[in-house]
Chains A and B, each alone.
Chain A
Amino acid sequence: MATFSVPDIKITGIAACVPEDIYSNENYDWIEEKERKTLIKTIGVSQKRHARLGTTTADLCYDAGIELLRLLEWNPTDIELIIFVSQSRDYIIPATAGLLQHKMGMTHQTIAFDIGLGCSGYVYGLSVIGSMMSTGKIKKALLFTGDISTLNTSFRDKSAFPLFGDAGTATAIELDSNAKPMAFNLQTDGSGYDAIIIPDGGIRNFADKDTSFEYHKISDGIYRNGFNIALDGIKVFNFSLREVKKNINNLLADSGLTLDQIDFIVLHQANKLMNETIRKQLKQPEEKVPLSLEEYGNTSSASIPLTMVTQLGSELEKSKKTLLLSGFGVGLSWGSVVLEIDHIQCPSILIHPNS
């Protein structure tokens, strides 16, 4: 569809939480040192956070949500709507949003549901939560996004293992008739469903005790089983370089804006080569397109809010900025939003301790 805008809503706070354990890619001895060095430089990920078995995405989101409520002096019973955007839910059923509603002490009047998106999930999530708030006159809501991807990644897959990190985020959103409308441009191409895929464990390829667990050699340095994330790097790369710029330019044109009027462009943190290539396509300076890949890797639907927290936190707390956010990847699904951020709560990144 064409671009659309959502009035009367504003972000009032963003928090991000990562697991305690740090994995340094220097120690990734599945590949030789020379290849490892090139890889680290190209993807731009020196280290990332790994969750231990037993910690879930919702646990990270919970920590971020509780901290936000404390800083905003919001009561859990004030929250009327929560959405959990993730591809690493607590259970196959039920939806994870309900578990968060209960654990955070929200009332039975709360609307709570999940959205199963990754790289584009933050932008999609904002559009859904904003639209519901705007039409339903919902005063306060929380958007949770994030993923634990490392548990589903094969150590013996050099194309995926060094890339992904784990994180969960919470974004507080409030109804405000003075807020500048958020403008969205959301797109999908399901023909590329297998460009990033965990093939087994759903209903299409039901988990099978013989075949799902079996590792296959895909190519040199790449072995995985049916539960591992499979990444078709070149396919995702070509898609992103073709579509993201177009999506952003169409959104700006429909909104009557130019990139000069945008203070920061926060892209999904795919990998450094991809993000830097998109930045060059857009002809924007480095300081306007922040990266958090170096320390946190690709954190799926958490990557945009996590980059805002870690790279722009103090700016967003102290001033008014116009931001363009763009997520792109698994689905294939992609989308961008232009929004205004005005003196929000943006605490330093939180660490979820190993229990």
Chain B
Amino acid sequence: MNINDFILKVEAEFEDLEPGSLTPETILKEAFTWDSVNALIFLAHVNVEYDVELSANELIEANTIQDLYNLVEVKVINKG
């Protein structure tokens, strides 16, 4: 996996996001409504796409798109 591909898929998942609007440095709370519903949509997305599970705390602690990507990447690597 790589972050550009990750970003493309996240942009496709959320209606509020214009294609090309996200960068690794984008701050989640500034880009869109980073609330519990959107957190669930993100959880569902990474579950289907990467077969990994994130907790509520991990999502709350993520600040940028890069943070989210790192979270998922570590889990994918640990999964083997």
Q: A159-B36, A234-B36 are in contact. Are A277 and B44 (CB under 8 A)?
A: yes
**A132-140, A235-243, A286-294 - interface stretch:** A235-243
Please determine whether A237 and B43 come into contact, CB atoms closer than 8 angstroms: yes
**B4-12, B20-28, B47-55 - interface stretch:** B47-55
Please determine whether A273 and B41 come into contact, CB atoms closer than 8 angstroms: yes
Partner of B43, one of A35, A234, A280, A281: A234
Q: What are 12 A-B pairs with beta-carbon distances under 8 A?
A: A35-B37, A38-B37, A38-B38, A39-B37, A159-B36, A234-B59, A237-B40, A237-B43, A241-B43, A241-B47, A241-B53, A273-B40
A261 at the interface (CB under 8 A from B): no
- As a 0/1 sequence over residues 26 to 37 of chain B, the CB contacts with chain A under 8 angstroms (1 = contact) are 000000010111
Please determine whether B40 and A281 come into contact, CB atoms closer than 8 angstroms: no
How far is it, in angstroms, between the C-alpha of A246 and the C-alpha of B54 when the chains are bound? 18
How far is it, in angstroms, between the C-alpha of A95 and the C-alpha of B28 when the chains are bound? 51
A274 at the interface (CB under 8 A from B): yes
Residues of B within 8 A of A276 (CB): 44
Tell me, rounded to whole Å, the shortest Cβ–Cβ distance linking A75 to chain B.
Answer: 48
How far is it, in angstroms, between the C-alpha of A280 and the C-alpha of B41 when the chains are bound? 14
Interface residues on B, range: 10 to 19
Tell me, rounded to whole Å, the shortest Cβ–Cβ distance linking A37 to chain B.
Answer: 10
Q: A234-B56, A241-B53 are in contact. Are A273 and B44 (CB under 8 A)?
A: yes
Please determine whether A241 and B44 come into contact, CB atoms closer than 8 angstroms: yes
A42 at the interface (CB under 8 A from B): yes
B39 at the interface (CB under 8 A from A): yes
Closest to B57 in A: A234
Partner of A277, one of B38, B39, B48, B59: B48
Known: A234-B40, A281-B47. 14 other contacts (CB 8 A): A38-B37, A38-B38, A39-B37, A42-B41, A233-B40, A234-B36, A234-B55, A234-B59, A237-B43, A238-B43, A241-B53, A242-B53, A273-B41, A274-B44
How far is it, in angstroms, between the C-alpha of A241 and the C-alpha of B41 when the chains are bound? 12
Residues of B within 8 A of A237 (CB): 40, 43-44
How far is it, in angstroms, between the C-alpha of A276 and the C-alpha of B48 when the chains are bound? 10
Partner of A234, one of B35, B39, B48: B39
Please determine whether B47 and A277 come into contact, CB atoms closer than 8 angstroms: yes
How far is it, in angstroms, between the C-alpha of A39 and the C-alpha of B37 when the chains are bound? 7
Closest to B48 in A: A280
Tell me, rounded to whole Å, the shortest Cβ–Cβ distance linking A222 to chain B.
Answer: 9
List 9 tightest A-B contacts by C-beta distance, closest first: A277-B44, A234-B56, A280-B48, A241-B47, A238-B53, A42-B37, A273-B44, A237-B40, A38-B37
